[in-house]
Amino acid sequence: MTDRTGQQLGNYLLLRLLGRGGFATVYLGEHIHLNTLAAIKVLDTRLSSDGIDQFREEARTIARLEHPNIVRVLDFGVEETTPFLVMGYAPNGTLRQLYPTGTRLPASTIVTYVKQAAAALYYAHTQKLIHRDVKPENMLLGRNSEVLLSDFGLAMGTFSSSQDTPRDASGTIAYMAPEQARGKPRPASDQYALAITVYEWLCGTRPFNGSYEEIAVQHVLHEPPSLYRFQPDISPAMEAVVLRALIKDPHQRFATVQDFADALEQAYSTGTLPGGVTSPPVSAAHDETSSEYAIHRVSTRTERTQTPAIHAVAWSPDRRRIASGGHDRTVQVWDVKTALVSLIYRGHVAGVTTLAWSPDGQRIASASLDKTVQVWDTANGQRIASYDGHSGMIHTVAWSPDGQSIASASGGGQDKAVQLWNASTGRHSYTYPHHTYWVRAVAWSPNGKWLASGSLKEVQVWNAANGQKVSTFRGHEGWVRALAWSPDGKRIVSTGEDKAVQVWEVTRGHLIATFRGHNEWVSSIAWSSDGKHIVSVSKDALVQVWDVEHQQHTSSSRTSSHGLTFHAHASSTHAVVWLPDDKHIASASGDGSVQVWQAI
């Protein structure tokens, strides 16, 4: 943005630059008549006529906030389609300037700051406003060293803007609650961001670090590292309070941000926890043996002594082994009957995001946040090939039926293509570039001639040899997360974040049936070998079985009418398969458990 120093906006002369943020520039301004100082925030956007009206409405709402710990909005205006805000000037700068990144603060100081910030946020929440950008950069120090929360105008930097890039990874995303990352902020999101700030002040580092997409993934899937790891002197009570406010589910955090601040103060002052808050759980050792793999409701545990965040689980083709990978950068292969780990692959330098077995069960392709896909031998862990042609986090990998090629896709920046490469050499063979958005799911047809790739609201079917498009299905309302071809190759079932399981005809993209009943987005799906039934499992651990034949002429159905419902172990990652008899299903969970049910 052009430096406006020396220019006049409204009644204010811009004296000097105070700072630049992700969507605005702030100047020190002097009133041309009153000679009073103010902070002038100039938004990096140009507004349409409708945008100007919306800006004025937003500005009026924020200007009505009156609290001793909130920076006052004194005036606002639009200068040649450029909006600006006039705010109270805090001469002592921000808490980020006072305490640069990496600085650890005394617990007493943290409690003092949190009480003031929480009071401001709680007041805003009672006024039906969510801050959405709580971080040290937006906490100013007033003339009496009181905390002043600023930047309640985040929403005004997001509409009618010529900029559509994500916010700075060192800013918003580093403090963003999982539900806010999904576009559903709520008051508890501000509590989460304040807890990230507390974690940073106590430990000298934030719990999640990396690129923009890596941090976003960690917020959603990873548990924060223990504060004790960075700050051995921290009391168990303070750690428990912070971790409570960082729970992924916003309903399980403190009821209000004020409750969080009160609990933190109590933990610091007395070393005790308020009612309902417990110390962080200690991971217990899993049993090293399990019951037999019987056709009933069965649960087994691996011998792992701790359960890091698991992001990928896959069954071997013979249903005898399971591979799982996640935050600890390893892939573990374990036997279903004995629950013993037979191999640990340690070739990745970052968390594992997805994996797939080769059709013969002798190799695994595992992808990682290190932006590589590695192919390795399941007998000895020896690496066979590696592919590093992706620029973002790899979401999906799929083997061709003959085991010679792999299709993979990532999400990050402009990488919206599906890439095909040789599984033995890692040599690139073809790039399919026709998706508008990132690809989250890929599946080969049973004969290996076609591929289906799922993105935002659509699935494209195309020729694996030349990329010629066969059909497009646009029946979904969100990201497509899983795909599966029917055994005869004539139908595809697709599902994802809209919670719907949809069956459609391949060559024309014609919808055959829609099944609804999941409460969360669906992550894994599979056809029975006779093509008559589908099993699906969602992030809320709900496993459902659908009768496809009875739904051929119905656009939707209820689970109670045509499906069976089972509850898997409480884990956010599952893989589900049919057993060879086509009557039983098995679900493997990221927590190391296996369950088997009679489905037919």
3-state helix, strand, coil in the chain (%, to 5): 20, 35, 45
In this prediction, residue 251 carries a pLDDT of: 93
Q: pLDDT band for position 391 (50/70/90)?
A: confident
Name the 3-class secondary structure at 177.
coil
Lowest mean pLDDT among 115-129, 132-146, 334-348, 557-571: 557-571
Tell me the per-residue pLDDT of 367-378, one tens digit each, with 9 for 90 and over. Answer: 998 889 999 999
Bridge partners (DSSP) of residue 20 are 25
Is the pLDDT at 69 greater than 70, yes or no? yes
Is the pLDDT at 261 greater than 60, yes or no? yes
Share the mean pLDDT of the chain: 82
Name the 3-class secondary structure at 295.
coil
In this prediction, residue 565 carries a pLDDT of: 52
In this prediction, residue 29 carries a pLDDT of: 93
Lowest mean pLDDT among 24-33, 197-206, 341-350, 573-582: 573-582
Name the 3-class secondary structure at 485.
strand
Is the pLDDT at 414 greater than 50, yes or no? yes
In this prediction, residue 168 carries a pLDDT of: 38
Is the pLDDT at 233 greater than 50, yes or no? yes
Q: Average pLDDT for residues 72-92, to the nearest whole number?
A: 86
Is the pLDDT at 448 greater than 60, yes or no? yes
* DSSP category for residue 223: P
Q: Average pLDDT for residues 574-578, to the nearest whole number?
A: 76
Residues 141, 30: Cα–Cα separation, whole Å:
20
Which of 497, 503, 502, 516 lies closest to 563 in space, CA to CA? 516
Which of 5, 2, 8, 73 lies closest to 38 in space, CA to CA? 73
Which of 377, 435, 384, 427 lies closest to 409 in space, CA to CA? 435
Is the pLDDT at 337 greater than 80, yes or no? no
Fold for the domain defined by 1-89: Phosphorylase Kinase; domain 1 (3.30.200)
CB 86 within 8 A of CB 38: yes
Is the pLDDT at 551 greater than 80, yes or no? no
More confident residue, 592 or 247: 247
Q: Average pLDDT for residues 28-43, to the nearest whole number?
A: 91
CB 523 within 8 A of CB 539: yes
Residues 352, 573: Cα–Cα separation, whole Å:
13
More confident residue, 571 or 558: 571
More confident residue, 328 or 386: 386
Tell me the per-residue pLDDT of 115-125, one tens digit each, with 9 for 90 and over. Answer: 999 999 999 99
Q: Which tokens hold the place of 357?
A: 């077995």
Q: Which tokens hold the place of 441?
A: 């799911």
**Cβ-Cβ contacts under 8 Å for 360 (sequence gap 6 or more):** 317, 403
Distances (CA, A) of 66 to 100, 127, 149: 29, 10, 12
Distances (CA, A) of 299 to 36, 79, 277, 579: 71, 66, 30, 16
Instruction: Report CA torsion sign: 194, 200, 206, 212.
Output: positive
Place of tokens 């600006």: 84
Residues 439, 430: Cα–Cα separation, whole Å:
16
SS (H, E, C) 365-425: EEEECCCCEEEEECCCCCEEEEECCCCCEEEEEEECCCCCEEEEEEEECCECCEEEEECCC
- The one-letter code for the residue type at 552 is Q
More confident residue, 280 or 133: 133
In this prediction, residue 366 carries a pLDDT of: 96
Q: pLDDT band for position 445 (50/70/90)?
A: very high
Calculated CA dihedral for residues 168, 126, 57, 55, nearest 10 degrees = -10
Q: Average pLDDT for residues 14-19, to the nearest whole number?
A: 90
Q: At what angle do helices 187-203 and 257-270 cross, to 10 degrees?
A: 30
The counts of H helices and E strands in the chain are: 10, 35
Burial 221-260 (b: 16+ CB within 10 A, else e): bbbbeebeebbeebbebbbbbbbbbbbbebeebbebbbbb
Is the pLDDT at 570 greater than 70, yes or no? no
In this prediction, residue 590 carries a pLDDT of: 57
Is the pLDDT at 7 greater than 60, yes or no? yes
In this prediction, residue 309 carries a pLDDT of: 67
Superfamily of domain 434-600: YVTN repeat-like/Quinoprotein amine dehydrogenase (2.130.10.10)
Is the pLDDT at 253 greater than 70, yes or no? yes
Are both 310-433 and 434-600 of the same fold? Answer: yes
CB 519 within 8 A of CB 497: no
In this prediction, residue 576 carries a pLDDT of: 79
Q: pLDDT band for position 597 (50/70/90)?
A: low
Which of 196, 2, 190 lies closest to 82 in space, CA to CA? 2
- Residue 249, CB half-sphere, CA atoms under 13 Å: how many? 6
In this prediction, residue 573 carries a pLDDT of: 52
CB 197 within 8 A of CB 243: no
In this prediction, residue 495 carries a pLDDT of: 93
In this prediction, residue 392 carries a pLDDT of: 82
Domain range 91-159+167-273, its CATH number among 1.10.510.10, 3.10.350.10, 3.40.50.720, 2.60.40.10: 1.10.510.10
DSSP 109-136: HHHHHHHHHHHHHHHHHHTT------SG
Domain range list for the chain: 1-89, 91-159+167-273, 310-433, 434-600
Is the pLDDT at 568 greater than 50, yes or no? no
Is the pLDDT at 593 greater than 70, yes or no? no
More confident residue, 3 or 432: 432
Residues 554, 510: Cα–Cα separation, whole Å:
13
**Cβ-Cβ contacts under 8 Å for 445 (sequence gap 6 or more):** 451, 452, 485, 489, 506
Q: Average pLDDT for residues 34-58, to the nearest whole number?
A: 80
In this prediction, residue 335 carries a pLDDT of: 79
Is the pLDDT at 260 greater than 90, yes or no? yes
Q: pLDDT band for position 311 (50/70/90)?
A: confident
Residues 473, 452: Cα–Cα separation, whole Å:
10
How long, in residues, is the chain?
A: 600
Q: Average pLDDT for residues 423-444, to the nearest whole number?
A: 95
Residues 95, 111: Cα–Cα separation, whole Å:
14
Residues 460, 471: Cα–Cα separation, whole Å:
6
Measured from the Cβ of residue 261, the count of other Cβ atoms closer than 10 Å reads 26
More confident residue, 215 or 339: 215
Domain range 310-433, its CATH number among 2.30.30.90, 1.10.630.10, 2.130.10.10, 1.10.10.10: 2.130.10.10
What percentage of residues in the chain have a pLDDT greater than 90? 48
Q: Alpha helices, DSSP H only, in 170-289? A: 172-175, 178-181, 187-203, 212-221, 236-245, 257-270
Place of tokens 């509850």: 567
- The one-letter code for the residue type at 29 is G
Tell me the per-residue pLDDT of 135-181, one tens digit each, with 9 for 90 and over. Answer: 999 999 998 999 999 887 543 333 333 333 333 333 378 999 988 88
Calculated CA dihedral for residues 117, 123, 127, 132, nearest 10 degrees = 10
Measured from the Cβ of residue 142, the count of other Cβ atoms closer than 10 Å reads 17
Q: What is the CA radius of gyration of the chain?
A: 27
Q: pLDDT band for position 575 (50/70/90)?
A: confident
Place of tokens 């080969």: 444
Is the pLDDT at 202 greater than 80, yes or no? yes
Distances (CA, A) of 519 to 189, 500, 575: 21, 10, 18
Which of 280, 286, 284 lies closest to 324 in space, CA to CA? 286
